[in-house]
Amino acid sequence: MVLAANEYELLISNHLFETWLLMHFEDVEKKISKKEIYRRLSFHLHDAYSKGHKGKIREIVQNGNIEKAIDNASALEKQYAAEGKSIFTSIKDMNPYTSVYKLIEQFMVEISEF
């Protein structure tokens, strides 16, 4: 999906941004706690994950799989859509959820045009 310059997209992660980060390593399809997300990120990073820890996002991007994260997030969004759920009407029932992949896809398109 390529967003036109005049289009705006609401980018959210429910319930944490780390949902998006975890998707770089594994499917995240069922409701998951903050503690469990951090535990799983720590497992994949072979080091304790903590929010705001300098260099952790870079490490995730370098060691994780961005295409896997995009595929995981997109598939989850399609699953919710098939169930008739939308972030505007059902966000409380959409945990896990992230639309950050849309921004990343746009970046990848922009970068590939150079």
Question: What is residue 106's predicted lDDT score, i.e. its pLDDT?
Answer: 87
Question: What is residue 1's predicted lDDT score, i.e. its pLDDT?
Answer: 43
Whether residue 66 contacts residue 104, with contact meaning beta carbons closer than 8 Å, is answered with: yes
* Reported confidence tier of residue 24, pLDDT bands at 50, 70, 90: very high
Long-range pairs for 84-92: beta carbons < 8 A, 24 or more residues apart: 87/10, 87/12, 91/12, 91/14
Average pLDDT, stretch 34-54? Answer: 92
Share of the chain above pLDDT 90, in %: 54
Q: State pLDDT tens for residues 68-103.
A: 999 999 999 999 999 999 988 998 899 999 999 998
